[in-house]
Amino acid sequence: MAYQSIEVRKLTPVIGAEIFGVDLGKPLGNQQFQEVHDALMENLVIFFRDQEMTHDQHKEFGRRFGPLHMHPSSNPVSQQHPEILVIKADENSKYVAGEEWHSDVSCDPEPPMGSILYMKELPPDGGGNTLFANMYRAFETLSPPIQKLCEGLTAIHDGAQVYGGRFGRTPPPGKSFPRNEHPVVRTHPVTGRKALYVNRNFTTGIVGLRRHESDALLEMLYRHCETPEFQCRFAWQPNSIAFWDNRSAMHHAMWDYFPHKRLGYRVTVAGDKPFLRA
C-alpha cells in the first residue's frame, strides 16, 4: 500500500509496523487519518515513537476512530477521564493486565474495535514487551476440515473468570460482569477477512460440545494461535504508543520486570457485534 503523509516500516511480513511522520498530539488531517487507518488495517497493530499527548489529546485521537469504550472493570485515571484506563505494575502487584493471550474485553456484547496504549514509565533494565499475533493467519493456516468445523461453532466469553477470578474484583452494584456468545471465526467488518476469535483469557467453552471436546478443541486452537510465525514483539520506550485491532489480533503482555514499575494509559475504541459472513 502506498502512503504519502506517513512512513510505514513493517516489523515483520505478517504483523506490525512502525509509523513515522505523524504527531498524535495534534489533530490529524483527513488524508493522514485515512493513511493511519489504512496502515492499521494492513498491519493489525501499529506503533508510534516519541509522542507527547495529554489525556484529552489521547481521547481525541481515539475518537477519530469511533466512540470510546468503557471498561467493565474500570480503573480510570481520574473521574475527569473515565475513558482512560491505567495500565500499571510495580513491586506491590499480584498480577498484571494482559498476562494471557487475549483480545480486549471479548466478553462484551460488542467487543472493542481497537485499543491505544500510551506508555510513560518502563523498567530500568528492559522487559515489559508486548507480543501481538495475527488471527487472520491463525485461521488461514488451519486445515480445511478444521476451518469448516470452526466456522460452524460459537463460544462463550465470560468476564467473571478474569475480572472476578484472577483480579478479585466485584461488579458494580446490581450488575454482573459481561458474558456473551460469539462466533469462533469472525468476519472483519472492514477487510472482509476471516479471523479466529477465541482466547485463553475470556473464552470458557464452545457451545454445543461436551466439556472434554470443548477443552480439547480450544487448547488446540490456543496453541495454534500462539505460533511464533504469526507474531511480532514490540520493545517499548517511554512515550511510545501501540494501536491494535482487537478484531484481527491478539496480544500478550510480558511480566518479566518484577518488582520494577511499568506505567501506561489506554484508550479503547468501541466496536460492533462479531459476525461470520458465509
Using alpha carbons, select from 274, 17, 248, 39 the residue that is nearest to residue 136: 248
CA distances, 26 to each of 34, 55, 122, 241 (Å): 15, 13, 25, 15
Q: Is 272 a catalytic residue?
A: no
CA distances, 9 to each of 3, 37, 83, 149 (Å): 11, 15, 30, 37
* DSSP SS3 for 68: strand
Q: Is 252 a catalytic residue?
A: no
The residue behind cell 477443552 is 215
Q: Is 251 a catalytic residue?
A: yes
Looking at residue 22, its amino acid is V
**Candidates 157, 182, 251, 252; catalytic one:** 251
**Candidates 71, 102, 157, 200; catalytic one:** 102
Q: Is 186 a catalytic residue?
A: no
**Candidates 104, 108, 158, 245; catalytic one:** 104
**Candidates 71, 182, 200, 266; catalytic one:** 266
Q: What share of the chain is helix, strand, coil (3-state, %, to 5)?
A: 20, 30, 50
Catalytic amino acids? 102, 104, 251, 266
